Amino acid sequence: MNHDMTFYGKRVCFFGAHPDDIEIGCGALISHIAGQTDLRVVTLSDNQKNPLLHDVVEEHYRSMKVLGVPEDKIIVGNFETRRFPQFRQEILAFILEIPNTFNPDMVFLHTKSDLHQDHATVTEEGLRAFRGTTVLGYDVIRSSYGFFPHFLIEVNEMDVQKKIQALAEYHTYDDKYYFDPDLTRSILVKNGALAERKFAEGFDILRIIGAFNCNQ
CATH assignment at residue 113:
3.40.50.10320
How many domains, the chain? 1
Buried b (16+ CB within 10 A) or exposed e, 86-95: ebeeebeebb
More confident residue, 4 or 142: 142
Residue 3 counted as domain residue:
no
Q: Which of 7-21, 37-51, 151-165 has the highest mean pLDDT?
A: 151-165
pLDDT at position 152 over 80 = yes
**What pLDDT score does 4 carry?**
72
Residues 6+ apart with CB under 8 A from 99: 129, 130
Would the pLDDT of 150 be above 60? Answer: yes
> Is residue 212 in a domain?
no
**Does residue 40 sit within a domain?**
yes
- The mean pLDDT value of the chain amounts to 94
10 or 212: whose pLDDT is higher?
10
In a domain, 6, yes or no: no
Which range of residues forms the domain containing residue 81?
A: 11-207
- Work out the angle between the directed axes of helices 117-129 and 88-101 (0-180°, nearest 10): 50
Instruction: Please check whether residue 213 lies inside any domain of the structure.
Output: no
Strand partners, 39: 12
Mean pLDDT of 131-137: 96
The DSSP line for 127-183 is HHHTTTSEEEEE--TTTBSS---SEEEEE-HHHHHHHHHHHHT-GGGTT-GGG-HHH
Residue 216 reports pLDDT greater than 60: no
The amino acid at residue 132 is G
Percent above pLDDT 90 for the chain:
87
What pLDDT does residue 122 have? 98
Cα separation, 162 vs 175, in Å, equals 20
Residues in CB range of 142: below 8 A, 6 or more apart: 176, 177, 178
Considering the domain boundaries, does residue 5 fall inside one? no
Query: Which of 5-9, 20-24, 85-89, 113-117 bottoms out in mean pLDDT, i.e. has the lowest?
Result: 5-9
2-20 average pLDDT score: 86
- Does residue 4 belong to any structural domain of this protein? no
- pLDDT reading at 20 higher than 80: yes
In a domain, 43, yes or no: yes
- To the nearest 10°, report the CA torsion of 184, 203, 18, 36: 90
